[in-house]
Structure 1
Amino acid sequence: MKQPLAYIHPEAKIAPNVVIEPFVTIDKNVEIGEGTRIGSNVTILEGARIGKNCNILPGAVIAGTPQDLKFEGEDSLVIIGDNTTIREFVTINRGTKSKGKTVVGNNCLLMAYVHVAHDCVVGNNVILVNSVQVAGEVKIDDWAIVGGLSAIHQFVHIGKHVMIAGGTLVSKDVPPYVKAGREPISYAGVNSIGLRRRNFSNEQIRDIQDIYRFMFQKGLNNTQAIERIEAELTASDERDEIILFIKNSQRGVIKGYNPDNS
């Protein structure tokens, strides 16, 4: 349903059953899938690819120019999956020549005033609570939840099923299945409630807790902890994922909580 008070570039590709409310601007080189609803005063700029059954609420700006001084006007994209909700005044910037695209997956919820910068990759079923600020080239894996007013440093990697407390400054990589918070950001236990909601068994959760006891509670460095984990704990998908995440970390992984740092 096209609103007569909306501006839609004639080259935009919009499914016939998309709802477009008044005062929307949709630029050229935009594609929007069926069943999506675009709220009033939304701006969708060149390079946006929006999936099916999304809900974009008033004031959001999708595919804005990257806030990166190295950007030279190159073609790039914002890709948003299916069934994702983007609340009021969210901004999602398109990619640069670094990766060429910014990606938000399926079934995500980006609450009001969230910012997702250039070349980020946000997985499926991710929740970014109000005013989360995500710097460039951040990766957030499936099922992560980031509490409101948190700020995520560029190039940080947040693993699957992570829960980050509101107001956290995320300056290090956060490995899968954990809760994190405090200042500086620290390990705060395994996200056991979230894992149970996603049908992890009690045995799987206990195994993950055993892994993180080596990582954060035995006074070992990462190399020593991984050696002990591989030698003493049974192999599993979760164990191997955690080890691979830590070995591949570029910014370094969060530490265990040390009250002397507070």
Structure 2
Amino acid sequence: MSSIHPTAVVDAQARIDSSVHIGPYCVIGPQVTIGAGTTVGAHCVIEGHTTIGRDNRIFQFASLGAAPQDKKYAGEPTRLVIGDRNTIREFCTFNTGTAQDRGVTTIGNDNWIMAYVHIAHDCVVGDQTILANNATLAGHVHVGDHAIIGGLTGVHQFTQVGAHVMAGFASHISQDVPPFMMVDGNPLAVRGLNLEGLRRRGFSPARIAAIKQMHRLLYRQGLTFEAARSAIAELPGMHPEAEGDIALLLAFLDTSARGIAR
């Protein structure tokens, strides 16, 4: 049987794996699914149509799966889906989606999410991200794999934060941040590349050289956005080892709706 503290209130319809540990005074709703090896600390509330994967560690006082903070929400059966091996620290709040978007808020795998982080309706958070204390994602935000968002940083609704981005402490992110960039400030400014992060993830010198070239084209040569994008599109022939990195940046630029931070 699951290890459920006698003071916890777990609805009989909830689907809880036999290896899950649920701490004192938790409240688990009827439409919740929690996968093997996950631990839920004291005083957590997990409600709504919420699915949580394997081997997550959820610390005390988290609120997961509550209705979205959207005045248009009318009780539709929207969802929250959390992947595997995530660390979710104290007082985090993750909401379900809305019918106006995907209808689901999605958190990937292996994320390190610190205390008081808010992830609003319809957000998509990738894998192996770090969200520091009090980082706040408004509705419909997308955060790419390996991104790091500093403490007290706010991300405006519908904004994209690309893969491998590092956003500094107390930043105000209201435009899309392309992959690989390092940003901070209010107003936000691109300070350079997240080179240390790329090296730690095993990027070769050749790949990093190509990413540096893309950064120069976007930010250092005075080109218009269209001219920079065209120049980047010609780079695969010169940097075949970085073809995937170039494609990642081009796809981001082509799908940016709010315009990129420049």
Fold agreement, TM-score > 0.5 = yes
The answer for the alignment partner of 1:222 in structure 2 is: 225
CA deviations over 1:128-183 (Å, ceiling 9, x no partner): 00000100000001110000000000000011111000100000000111111122
Q: Give, as a single letter, the amino acid of the residue that structure 1 aligns with 2:140.
A: E
CA distance in 2, matches of 1:122, 1:231: 30
Structure 1 residue 187, shift from structure 2 partner? 1.2
Structure 1 residue 248, shift from structure 2 partner? 1.4
Asked whether 1:156 is paired with 2:159, we answer yes
Asked whether 1:194 is paired with 2:185, we answer no
Q: Give, as a single letter, the amino acid of the residue that structure 2 aligns with 1:245.
A: F
8 Å contact kept, 2:235–2:246: no
Aligned residues: 255
Structure 1 residue 231, shift from structure 2 partner? 3.7
Structure 1 residue 237, shift from structure 2 partner? 1.3
CA distance in 1, matches of 2:85, 2:232: 38
The answer for the alignment partner of 1:10 in structure 2 is: 12
Gaps of 5+ in 1: 256-262
Q: Give, as a single letter, the amino acid of the residue that structure 2 aligns with 1:253.
A: I
Structure 2 residue matching 1:62: 3-state secondary structure: strand
Structure 2 residue matching 1:246: 3-state secondary structure: helix
Decide which of 48, 52, 61 is 1:46's aligned counterpart.
Answer: 48
Structure 1 residue matching 2:209: 3-state secondary structure: helix
Decide which of 62, 65, 68 is 2:64's aligned counterpart.
Answer: 62
Structure 1 residue 113, shift from structure 2 partner? 0.2
Q: Give, as a single letter, the amino acid of the residue that structure 1 aligns with 2:123.
A: C
The answer for the alignment partner of 1:240 in structure 2 is: 247
The answer for the alignment partner of 2:210 in structure 1 is: 207
CA deviations over 1:43-94 (Å, ceiling 9, x no partner): 0002110011101101100001100011110001110000001100000000
CA distance in 2, matches of 1:232, 1:92: 40
The answer for the alignment partner of 1:147 in structure 2 is: 150
Structure 1 residue 232, shift from structure 2 partner? 5.7
CA distance in 2, matches of 1:241, 1:13: 38
Structure 1 residue matching 2:4: 3-state secondary structure: coil
8 Å contact kept, 2:181–2:193: yes
Q: With the length of structure 2 as denominator, give the TM-score of the two structures.
A: 0.95
CA distance in 1, matches of 2:186, 2:224: 20
Asked whether 1:119 is paired with 2:126, we answer no
Q: With the length of structure 1 as denominator, give the TM-score of the two structures.
A: 0.95
8 Å contact kept, 2:148–2:166: yes
CA distance in 2, matches of 1:251, 1:244: 14
Flag the 1:103–1:55 CA change in 2: closer, same or farther, 3 A. same
The answer for the alignment partner of 1:92 in structure 2 is: 94
Give the RMSD, CA atoms, in angstroms: 1.0
CA distance in 2, matches of 1:73, 1:173: 30
State, as a whole percentage, how many aligned pairs show the same letter: 38
Gaps of 5+ in 2: none
